[in-house]
């Protein structure tokens, strides 16, 4: 099932082809996953989304690539995005996530969800010490 038909020949559009080429070059692979194939229905949306993914996830910074993938995966789990959970689990493994790290990540996500719900249920007041203006 899907709600948007990916174009049959997306790279016939030179803007789409340019993005796909950049994905292949940046990721050093020929594999273009379905998110990009579907986003090709609108070249502007494809371009801006890929530009942001490339800038945030692929450019050098102060967080290492695996940490960023695990954070991305954690948000995707909490937002219940099945596709995203699949793609970012695969990406985290490709960036070196070991089975032991995977298991620990699961334990952290599960615990966070648990205490998130407990705190909301009990409406715990924020400690003044946690206010950045304190």
Residue 53: closest CA among 91, 79, 2, 90:
91
Q: Specify whether the CB–CB gap between 97 and 124 falls below 8 A.
A: no
Task: Candidates 11-19, 20-28, 46-54: pick the segment binding a second copy (CB under 8 A).
Answer: 46-54
CA distances in angstroms from 106 to 21, 87, 101, 113, 121, listed in the order given: 34, 16, 9, 11, 23
Q: Is position 24 an interface residue for a second copy (rule: CB under 8 A)? A: no
Task: Candidates 7-15, 16-24, 58-66: pick the segment binding a second copy (CB under 8 A).
Answer: 58-66
Q: Is position 96 an interface residue for a second copy (rule: CB under 8 A)? A: no
Task: Candidates 7-15, 17-25, 70-78: pick the segment binding a second copy (CB under 8 A).
Answer: 70-78
121: how many CB neighbours lie within 10 A of its CB?
A: 8
* Closer residue to a second copy, CB minimum distance, 12 or 118: 118
Q: Is position 25 an interface residue for a second copy (rule: CB under 8 A)? A: no
Q: Is position 34 an interface residue for a second copy (rule: CB under 8 A)? A: yes
Helices (DSSP H) in 28-128: which residue ranges? 34-39, 43-53, 65-78, 82-94, 99-122
Q: Is position 117 an interface residue for a second copy (rule: CB under 8 A)? A: yes
Q: Is position 19 an interface residue for a second copy (rule: CB under 8 A)? A: no
């Amino acid at each position: 099932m899907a709600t948007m038909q990916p174009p049959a020949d997306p790279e016939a559009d030179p803007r789409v082809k340019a993005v796909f080429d950049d994905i292949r070059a940046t990721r050093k692979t020929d594999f273009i996953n379905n998110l990009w194939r579907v986003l090709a229905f609108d070249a502007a949306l494809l371009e801006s989304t890929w530009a942001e993914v490339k800038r945030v996830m692929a450019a050098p910074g102060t967080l290492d690539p695996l940490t960023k993938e695990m954070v991305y995966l954690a948000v995707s789990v909490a937002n219940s995005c099945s596709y995203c959970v699949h793609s970012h689990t695969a990406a985290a493994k490709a960036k070196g996530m070991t089975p032991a790290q995977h298991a620990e990540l699961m334990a952290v996500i599960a615990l966070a969800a648990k205490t998130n719900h407990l705190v909301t249920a009990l409406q715990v007041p924020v400690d003044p010490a946690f206010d950045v203006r304190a």
